[in-house]
Amino acid sequence: MNSRNRNDRNANPSKSPQMIWQEFLANMSKQKPQPPAIYVLIQDSQIAEINKDCLKIIFSTEEARVAAKSKLGAIKIRIPSELQRDRLEFVTGVAPLSETIQPAARTITTKNPDNSSSRPISNQSPIINQRPVITQRPIIHQIQNPLTKLLVTPFEYDNRNNVELVQPVLQSAVEAEKTCQPIYDLLAKRTKQLAQSTLEIKFPWRVRVGGVRGFRDLLLPAFHPVYGIPYFPASSLKGVINAWARNNGYESEADELFGTLKKGMGKVQILDAFPTKPCLSMDMANPQWHWRGQQVEYKPEPHALLTLMEPEIVIGLSPTSRGTQNDIETVKKWLENALKIGIGSRVSAGYGRTEITHNLPHFQEYKFTLWSQGIYGANPPSGGNNWRGETEFRPVAFRGVLRYWFRVVALGLYSPESCQKLEQQLFGALGQEGSICLGMNWDKSGDNPLEITGKILLESKSPEHLTLAKNLLILASHLGGVGRGSRRPLHYNSGRLRGCHWELDGNLDKNILSLSKEPWQVFLQELINSFKIVHPSGNPSSCQPYNKGTRCQDVLNQNAVITLVPSPGLKHPRQVNSYQSQGNQPDVRGEALEILYGSDKFKGVNRDRRGNEKVGGSLAIPSYVLIKSNYPGADSEYQTVTIFGADFRDRTAFKDALPEDSIQVWPLSLPVAQSNASEKPSKPILKKRNN
């Protein structure tokens, strides 16, 4: 080493090697017109050790170390002279953010004025050419790379079902990401060092940014190519800001701020954003109804995937040579507004939004309450977890309910081809954005049943589409449930909580229809009209809920029946103190469910193989009968009974077994005004019990 370099080691005696290294990286990041290529390789590195012969640089991942080693010569000649050593080594690990590198303490002996004694003085000044002591915790070697886990973890094979098991591989990435907190700490600190301004964002539910198709055709979120952790690419953040700006009339301003090929460099630079803590989570998409040619078939197909659960991210923004602080503030405001609309995929199903505020021109809000045995994601109850799954309220379940009831009505009005096209127009498809967007917020309380209260926000680009969606929501809240047990009212049976109950709250008209024929038929006619306004009715096929051994989509046609069964005294979930002791009583189950459960000719097939799957269904076949409890007011409680394919003899027998004072509201009686609209129960069906 030449004498100039040796002498320069003392050029900054007041600075530690780590401080010199950090200043070196910071200065490199500011070089114009752009930082050198090697900066990307070493921007997140730190000094691990320095002595008189060797400088060791530490990288958080093996990939980063290997990439830097490939440019070792170019990096070495740029290292500050104070840190130059004969050997330069790259190692893997993570040094704590609080580390400092200091020289070893020297003891200097000084004489007293009378020369009679001496005293030691500890010298801690940072003299670079002494062998330093690193005052830090041991380097953490337990950090794992989630992306590497995805690539190297072998797939298990299910010989019984002849499929590869994807979930264990994805779970290995989730477990690896839990070890990455030091990396997230490091990157959060680095973002705040490099950016002139930062924005901290928290998402209340799941986010999936990226959606790239990876190995085995799995849809994966974006993983950083060096660190192997999930992140929000700067390109994605810039994309949502640009989209918001253009949709709100700021197109020219956006071009100035972010630059174009014609206008050249922009004024604001956005950095990649990283979570502040582990948030990679197993997720599950489980569509249950699928288009197969001219019919929709029931065939649950769970697909495991990875998303980010409630991530908190730090977004860094810096001005270019053309930018100002005002430009930064403008982009921050746009970004906050854009993230309220959402980022990533499945935004219309509730993913990727920071707040539930309307962003489309036509919208309607509803308050709701749900009592449920549980809504589950990737970890439902099973024998493997002793039937104790992990509950997770999922807005996508509500969107699935709307989609199901859309097909119930649409297949009774249109041909299968027209129904499928309209479904894609309203709800979207792969590569196609739908016109209806659903957002939700919620709070959970209670257990067994789980009680959830919140807000549903329906939005659409079209007022006609919004009206259709509103009518579907009201229909769904009166005829069925959400999630597990959606075809039965909430009750207790065979040692377990069954069914569910939900209702729309507030004072909006028709939130809870009364026990009377006229309001029901008026509403059902309005429902049909809202479809015909969007698309004229065509030539529906004769859809049957059971076709050649296949359970098919339920259809509201002339072979379906909706009946109101009066149930005065029917207990609301708020009135049930304990479902375990009261949930099997008639005043909780309701008259219609008592009739269904009262005969093997009607109830679903149980584990003892007793029952009739052509009426009540089975473990693998949804029931052809839906029963929903409704509570419009005291002593006017009732249950709706919806029977699909009611022309089948066993289902006809169940319809005939309902009480004589039941009110049939579908098929529609024409004209509606001439129907008997004042039918009321002549006698109480349920006897109140003292529990």
- Nearest in space to 561 (alpha carbons), one of 487, 627, 635: 627
Quick one: tokens of 633?
């007011």
Residues 73 and 182 in one domain: no
Calculate mean pLDDT across residues 610-623: 94
Q: Please identify, among 135, 157, 175, the residue that sits at the C-terminal boundary of a domain.
A: 135
pLDDT at 512: 84
Residues 412 and 333 in one domain: no
pLDDT at 674: 35
Does the residue 140 lie in any domain? no
pLDDT at 421 over 50: yes
232-236, 536-540, 687-691: least confidently modelled range: 687-691
pLDDT at 438: 92
Residues 385 and 325 in one domain: no
Residues 10 and 124 in one domain: yes
Does the residue 282 lie in any domain? yes
pLDDT at 95: 53
Higher pLDDT, 228 or 669: 228
pLDDT at 181: 95
pTM of the model: 0.76
Residues 72 and 170 in one domain: no
pLDDT at 631 over 80: yes
pLDDT at 683: 35
What backbone phi and psi angles, to 5 degrees, belong to 647?
-80, -10
Residues 390 and 497 in one domain: yes
User: Helix axis angle, 463-479 relative to 517-534, nearest 10°?
Assistant: 140
When pLDDT is cut at 50, 70 and 90, the band that residue 130 belongs to is: very low
Higher pLDDT, 328 or 93: 328
Does the residue 684 lie in any domain? no
pLDDT at 101: 39
pLDDT at 111: 43
- Nearest in space to 561 (alpha carbons), one of 616, 499, 456, 640: 640
Residues 93 and 206 in one domain: no
pLDDT at 6: 43
Does the residue 680 lie in any domain? no
For 339-397, what is each residue's pLDDT tens digit?
999 999 888 888 999 998 888 899 999 999 999 998 888 888 777 777 778 888 999 99
When pLDDT is cut at 50, 70 and 90, the band that residue 673 belongs to is: very low
Contacts of residue 610, defined as CB under 8 A and 6 or more positions apart, other chains included, come to 600, 603
Q: Please identify, among 88, 106, 135, the residue that sits at the C-terminal boundary of a domain.
A: 135
Q: How many domains does the chain have?
A: 3
CB 625 within 8 Å of CB 642: yes
pLDDT at 118 over 90: no
User: Helix axis angle, 416-427 relative to 395-410, nearest 10°?
Assistant: 150
pLDDT at 647: 95
pLDDT at 219: 65
Residues 198 and 314 in one domain: yes
pLDDT at 109: 42
Domain that holds residue 371: 362-674
pLDDT at 608: 84
Quick one: tokens of 176?
């690896």
Residues 211 and 343 in one domain: yes
When pLDDT is cut at 50, 70 and 90, the band that residue 212 belongs to is: low
For 505-527, what is each residue's pLDDT tens digit?
854 555 789 999 999 999 999 99
Does the residue 259 lie in any domain? yes
Residues 168 and 34 in one domain: no
Does the residue 355 lie in any domain? no
CB 272 within 8 Å of CB 188: no
When pLDDT is cut at 50, 70 and 90, the band that residue 687 belongs to is: very low
Residues 478 and 547 in one domain: yes
* CATH at 69: 3.30.300.180
* Helix or strand holding residue 609 (H, E): none
Does the residue 356 lie in any domain? no
